[in-house]
Amino acid sequence: MIARYTRPEMAGIWTEKNRFEVMLEVEVLAMEAMVKAGKVPKADLDEVRKKASIDVAKIDEIEKVVKHDIIAFLSQVERKVGKAARHLHMGMTSSDVLDTALAVQMVQAAELLQKDIVPLKKAVADLARKHKGTLMAGRTHGVHAEPTTFGLKAAGWHSELVRSEERLADAKKIIAFGKISGAVGTYAHLDPEFEKHVLSKLGLGIEPVSTQIVPRDRHAQYMAALALVGGTLERIALEIRHLQRTEVLEAEEPFTEGQRGSSAMPHKRNPVGCENICGLARLLRSNAQAAFENTALWHERDISHSSVERVIIPDSTLLLDYMLARMTSIIAGLQVYPERMKENLNKTFLILASQRLLLEILRNSKGKYSREDAYKLVQRYAQKAWTEGGDFKKLVLKSPEIREFLSEKAVTECFDPAYFVRHKDLIFKRAGL
């Protein structure tokens, strides 16, 4: 991933140095298991632990000749250690090391993402509580529907972030499996106890039935989880973008001191952070699709998945790490304009009461009106108010068909905005807020 979207801690997980160091630990733990079984002298293990180290530049130099990264890695370690290194990789195949090390890195990345989402969830929770009663127009199809509150909108974001936390936990759980089972997964030259020793030390589960690799459905599920979390961030970002439109302007992402919105127009304050998140979410989905393509491989394995994973797995974890941090900053500094929300709601609120009016007519007409007839009656006055800019409430109060069943007080109650959000406490309780 380019430096622009890379944060140091996550980047550290995906350095070649960290990758080779994890691979070395896998190899040493396998050797440790062989010592425990009496198959390798302990003195040789001690020698390996004392002298083995990673020199990425040297590995790269060797790989240019051998054209095989695992052989290059083993050769570099052997040159550092000497004869004791002959016990490394005994009975193992490349994917024993690669897949097990990759699982460790993916677990490390998932744990960091789990940490990232905590401050975002808190920022959204604070926002929801602060604006629990801030009335605004609810919109469907981009058109005013019925009143809601900005707090309820944010509560929905919070609820989805809770599910995102669960998805990251599930992703960590599904990927935390390795294998030390040999060329086609049959332990032909290995004792299954070696695998148990290595994986338990690394905190990984044993792949129940491996081939030469860990099955790639695990990786696909992990990547799908990242894409879904990215989709949650996109949903929040897209909503803020809509609310920041000049014609709406009910909320606005932070605009910091010295920031410029346009190279040409000094007045511009664009939702660039939210647009950035929406764009990066597309990359996460594209990478997840590539992970799905990796699940079907030839026989016990081929290598078509490898080149894809070297790109998509680091990139997606780096992207989501960046996106979570950026969204946290946006939410923490979000500018919310309750008076503008009220102003926009008042433009259409009297019309937005149409459903409640319809239901009250049906309740009080004692069967005189069918739902269809009552709908047409209310729609006639609502559309007149909409197209002519009239006062819907006044039109209703003057309607003999409606006043036959509803008193002036009953009509007025239909236009009380608090009625529409009277269950907000219950919804907040369900959201854990």
What residues are labeled active site? 141, 262
**Positive or negative, the Cα torsion across 258, 255, 113, 308?**
negative
- CA-to-CA distance for 315 and 282, rounded, in angstroms? 13
Each as own residue / partner, the long-range contacts of residues 338-342 (CB below 8 Å, 24 or more positions apart, any chain) are 338/131, 338/134, 338/150, 340/248, 340/249, 340/250, 341/134, 341/135, 341/136, 341/137, 341/150, 341/250, 342/135, 342/136
Identity of residue 178? G
Identity of residue 387? T
- CA-to-CA distance for 188 and 153, rounded, in angstroms? 58
Helices 371-388/354-364 angle, 10° precision? 150
Q: Do residues 178 and 214 make contact, with C-beta atoms less than 8 angstroms apart?
A: yes
Phi then psi for residue 39, to 5 deg, are -100, -15
CA distances from 251 to 181, 239, 278, 339 (A): 56, 9, 17, 11
